[in-house]
Amino acid sequence: MHWSSLCVIMGRAMNSRVASLSQQYTSALQDYLDSQQEILLQQAYDLGRIAIAGRLGLLDIAQIHQRALLECLLPACSMEEKQRVLQASETFFLEALSPFEATHRGFRDANLRLQQLNETLECRGAELTAINYDLHELSNRILHVQEDERKRLSRELHDQVGQALTVLKWNLGLLLRSGEVDATLLKQKLADSQTLLEETMDLVHRFAIELRPAMLDELGLLPALRSYLKALAQRTLLQVRFHGSAAAEQLRSEQKIVLFRVAQESLTNVVKHAQASQVKVALHTLKHVVQMQIRDNGQGFSVDTKVPGRRRKHLGLLGMQERVRLVNGQFAVTSAPGQGTTVCVEIPFRSRPEVQAR
Ligand SMILES: Nc1ncnc2c1ncn2[C@@H]1O[C@H](COP(=O)(O)OP(=O)(O)O)[C@@H](O)[C@H]1O
Ligand SMILES: [Mg+2]
């Protein structure tokens, strides 16, 4: 259908609505002016609502009122009567307008709410963008940290193990040509080689543990931790104390690796940052969780500025927190300058049906 014909049809429909409302309005106004009963004002209110429902505007209702008033205001009546009619019709008119007022108020409120919702959405949008950015940055950093770690291990393997093996090879060559060397030098070289071999074995053992503590799978969490702590105490001046509850072995293997990695990272932090003389590692079994605490007596730090800040350079604390979160655990660091540091992790026991059944 052509647009202009549509407009004509809609216009006619509107005019017929105005005409029918106009008649109702005039007779209702007339009723009210005759008796001026409060109850008749309800009709004005209802007519206002009908006008809104029929999509009539304020100008339409004003026009309807104007026409009705002209009809009701008989030219023959006295000045006093005219005044009374004008006053009463004003009351009637205001009552007819009140649904418009209510609707406008509703619009205003809805608009305000929409505005507030929009603002909240904008905030959420900005937060999501920031979180996305952080995640992107975090995965980038994790990749870098992994790559750096591989570089470090490869360099240490090359430098330390490579060097030791070169010296051993050189010593062995000397032994092969033993006819040319005196016995004391020979003995000396043998002893050197033995020490070197022992050191290299330790080193390789340490690398193996750092890469993936095989002990963890074969012997369990507590022996793996004990062995790691023993090696740590040997290569640092730290006095290390350990308490482990055997029930910790009931955790799933991915939970145990989380505890092991948290211990590793926390203890590396103790060595790197704490300047501590003592560290205690304790695993306790509470009702539904295994709790691990790593407490040092070092210089401590101000936690607020380090955990879990966005766009930080340090990933150790954040990484621990993430690992623990992935196995539904709780992670907390308590520290203050001059007061040592405590890392506390709680990991819930598995709830496998066969375990519960026993
Ligand atoms: N046991 C600790 N004693 C003192 N300071 C610590 C300890 N653990 C962490 N910190 C502080 O928290 C910071 C963040 O640690 P972390 O996230 O592991 O990063 P990184 O070890 O790479 O610096 C460290 O740089 C250090 O200042
Ligand atoms: Mg660290």
At residue 62, the pLDDT reads 92
Average pLDDT, integer, range 235-247 = 93
Residues with a beta carbon under 5 angstroms from ion ligand 2: 269, 316
Residues constituting the chain: 358
Confidence tier at 358 by pLDDT (50, 70, 90): very low
The closest-lying atom of ligand 1 relative to the alpha carbon of residue 341 is 1
Neighbours of 152 (CB within 10 A): 11
Position 64 scores a pLDDT of: 92
Strands (E), the chain: 239-244, 278-285, 289-296, 330-335, 341-348
CA of 334, nearest ligand number:
1
Pairwise CA distance, residues 113 & 101, whole Å: 18
pLDDT-derived band of residue 291, with 50, 70 and 90 as boundaries?
Answer: very high
Please say if the pLDDT value at position 353 is more than 90: no
Higher confidence at residue 310 or residue 356? 310
Q: Is 316 in the pocket of ligand 1 (CB under 6 A)?
A: yes
- Is the distance from the beta carbon of residue 89 to the nearest atom of ligand 1 less than 6 Å? no
pLDDT score of 45: 94
Other C-beta atoms lying within 10 Å of the C-beta of residue 213:
22
Q: What is the pLDDT of residue 10?
A: 46
Cβ of 296 less than 6 Å from ligand 1? yes
Q: Is 141 in the pocket of ligand 1 (CB under 6 A)?
A: no
Q: Residue 227 C-alpha to ligand 2 middle, in angstroms? A: 21
The pLDDT tens digits of the residues spanning 114-128 come to: 999 999 999 999 999
